[in-house]
């Protein structure tokens, strides 16, 4: 009897670098069209202009004017202690954990945090690393692993849940066991994943963490997509997530649209984070640990608001989320009216991932859309097959931009059927 088909696609480091190449090709093409001033709308978050509708006016006041007099202008590498205390407080309220400020290090964005953590775990010293394998559960933003593969010599193996209509996360303990069979030193999880925004089932994540603790395998969890939640459970962690081998990475860059401030944080055991000369903190060096004063101030404000929401149910950002929901519904209705478009499930984040029946590849579709003045990201860089034509649409934008982009997409799809 034939063996049951796997829901994932196994990929080696060279396969992953092909996904990185897809990103690079896309951005080279974007530059050409932007230089020609031919782009009129962008539903590709961060590729062209600041996404809208993520913060209220009061919060922008903190960015532009207010400064906390107690915040460092240039402080310790590990980051402002008040910020780290507030991160601990919110995390402990949400997940029944018992983190301390010493379990938090501020980094220059979540992507930077991923690279520094891998560098530390692979023990980069004097230009050399130990033999180190990272198993990545995709889809994910594979460009994060370019440095690990090409500069650190890390072996990166992808387990990509990217087969159309089969779900984008593991569903069984057998699939987790398959990943463990390659004996990785670390396993990388995006929760919720990117681009889909589908959450990793919490029971399976707990199973993975417990086994990895027994086997001394690190679990790195990238949580930056965890916002604007449509899945009621969300992360659904409890105190089990606070394990010595678990490293969590997060940021307000996407959640609140402040990517230009380059602030993220790593939550981990103190032995991994280290101090001024050791661990992740030692590797920060002059790369920026402590954030700019304005960023520290706004992060404290956002964390205070999150704490208030947890304790009282009062959601300061409810008007923002209502606005986002209207935009998402508009995009969904427009997509439903187009030929050959399948909308994939979204658990969180401000993207809709869609499968489009198109006679060309995802990259060629994005090129055809640029010819019509709009940007929509192809998902080849996340591990999807170019021929499956999976696209990521960001709906946190101005109404006129949303309307123009949807009109362009519909026009291109109708033209392809002639």
Phi, psi of 285 (to 5 degrees): 45, -120
Residue that is written with structure tokens 């991932």 in the block: 353
pLDDT in tens, 173-225: 999 999 999 999 999 999 999 999 999 999 999 999 999 999 999 999 999 99
The CATH number of the domain covering residues in 57-312? 3.40.640.10
Q: Look up residue 280 and give its two tokens.
A: 């992740």
State the pLDDT at residue 131: 96
User: What totals of helices (H) and strands (E) does the chain contain, helices first?
Assistant: 13, 14
Q: Look up residue 45 and give its two tokens.
A: 């978050």
Rounded to an integer, the average pLDDT of 271-294 is 83
pTM here? 0.93
Q: Which helix (H) or strand (E) holds 30?
A: helix 13-35
The CATH number of the domain covering residues in 20-52+317-416? 3.90.1150.10
pLDDT in tens, 130-173: 999 999 999 999 999 999 999 999 999 999 999 988 899 999 99
pLDDT in tens, 214-247: 999 999 999 999 999 987 889 999 999 999 999 9
Coil, strand or helix at 127: coil
Higher pLDDT, 46 or 248: 248
**Beta bridge pairs of residue 317:** none
Coil, strand or helix at 335: helix
The dihedral through the CA atoms of 48, 167, 15, 145 has a sign that is: positive
pLDDT in tens, 304-359: 999 999 999 999 889 889 999 999 999 999 999 998 999 999 999 999 999 999 99
Q: Look up residue 293 and give its two tokens.
A: 């004063």
How far, in Å, CA of 95 to CA of 98, rounded? 9
State the pLDDT at residue 64: 54
Residue that is written with structure tokens 């033209």 in the block: 415
State the pLDDT at residue 70: 54
Higher pLDDT, 298 or 11: 11
Q: Given pLDDT bands bounded at 50, 70 and 90, which one contains residue 295?
A: confident
pLDDT of 71 strictly over 60:
no
Phi, psi of 355 (to 5 degrees): -105, 130
How far, in Å, CA of 256 to CA of 141, rounded? 19
Q: Look up residue 353 and give its two tokens.
A: 């991932």
Range name among 47-51, 99-103, 261-265, 271-275 with the lowest pLDDT average: 47-51
pLDDT in tens, 376-413: 999 999 999 999 999 999 999 999 999 999 999 999 99
Higher pLDDT, 2 or 127: 127
How far, in Å, CA of 230 to CA of 139, rounded? 19
State the pLDDT at residue 223: 97
State the pLDDT at residue 1: 37
State the pLDDT at residue 2: 47
Task: Report whether 293 contacts 96 (CB < 8 A).
Answer: no
Domain boundaries, the chain: 20-52+317-416, 57-312
Check residue 207 and report its DSSP letter: H
Coil, strand or helix at 373: coil
Average pLDDT of every residue of the chain: 90
Q: Look up residue 81 and give its two tokens.
A: 């202690």
Check residue 48 and report its DSSP letter: S
Q: Look up residue 383 and give its two tokens.
A: 């591990």
Residue 369's nearest CA partner among 45, 30, 47 is 30
* 313, burial (CB in 10 Å: exposed 0-12, middle 13-18, buried 19+): exposed
Q: How far is CA 215 from CA 131, 179, 211, 240, 245, in A?
A: 17, 13, 6, 16, 10
Task: Report whether 120 contacts 266 (CB < 8 A).
Answer: no
pLDDT in tens, 73-115: 556 778 888 899 999 999 999 999 999 999 999 998 899 999 9
Task: Report whether 175 contacts 228 (CB < 8 A).
Answer: no
């Amino acid at each position: 009897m034939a063996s049951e088909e796997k829901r994932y696609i196994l990929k080696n480091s060279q396969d992953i670098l092909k996904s990185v190449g897809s990103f690079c090709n896309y951005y080279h093409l974007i530059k050409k069209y932007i230089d020609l001033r031919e782009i009129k709308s962008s539903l590709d978050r961060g590729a062209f202009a600041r996404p809208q509708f993520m913060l209220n006016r009061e919060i922008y006041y903190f960015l532009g004017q207010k400064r906390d007099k107690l915040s460092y202008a240039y402080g310790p590498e590990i980051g402002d202690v008040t910020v780290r205390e507030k991160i601990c407080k919110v995390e402990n309220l949400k997940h029944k954990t018992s983190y301390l400020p010493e379990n938090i290090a501020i980094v220059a964005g979540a992507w930077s945090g991923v690279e520094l953590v891998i560098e530390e775990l692979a023990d980069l010293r004097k230009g050399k690393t130990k033999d180190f394998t990272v198993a990545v559960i995709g889809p994910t933003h594979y460009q994060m692993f370019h440095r690990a593969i090409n500069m650190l010599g890390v072996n990166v193996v992808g387990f990509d849940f990217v087969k159309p209509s089969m779900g984008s996360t593991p569903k069984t303990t057998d699939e987790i066991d398959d990943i463990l069979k390659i004996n990785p030193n670390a396993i990388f999880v995006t929760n919720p994943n990117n681009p889909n925004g589908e959450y990793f089932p919490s029971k399976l994540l707990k199973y993975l963490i417990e086994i990895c603790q027994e086997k001394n395998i690190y679990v790195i969890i990238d949580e930056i997509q965890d916002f604007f939640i449509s899945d009621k459970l969300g992360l659904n962690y409890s105190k089990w997530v606070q394990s010595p081998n678990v490293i969590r990475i997060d940021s307000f860059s996407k959640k609140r649209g402040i990517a230009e401030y380059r602030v993220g944080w790593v939550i981990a055991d103190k032995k991994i984070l280290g101090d001024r000369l050791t661990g992740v903190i030692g590797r920060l060096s002059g790369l920026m640990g402590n954030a700019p004063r304005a960023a520290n101030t706004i992060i404290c404000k956002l964390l205070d608001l999150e704490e208030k929401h947890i304790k009282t149910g009062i959601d300061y950002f409810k008007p923002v989320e209502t606005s986002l929901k209207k935009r998402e519904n508009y995009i969904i209705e427009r997509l439903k009216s187009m030929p050959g478009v399948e909308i994939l499930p979204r658990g969180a984040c401000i993207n809709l991932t869609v499968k489009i029946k198109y006679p060309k590849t995802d990259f060629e579709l994005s090129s055809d859309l640029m010819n019509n003045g709009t940007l929509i990201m192809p998902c080849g860089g996340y591990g999807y097959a170019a021929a499956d034509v999976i696209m990521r649409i960001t709906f946190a934008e101005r109404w006129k931009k949303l309307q123009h982009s949807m009109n362009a997409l519909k026009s291109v799809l109708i033209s392809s059927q002639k």
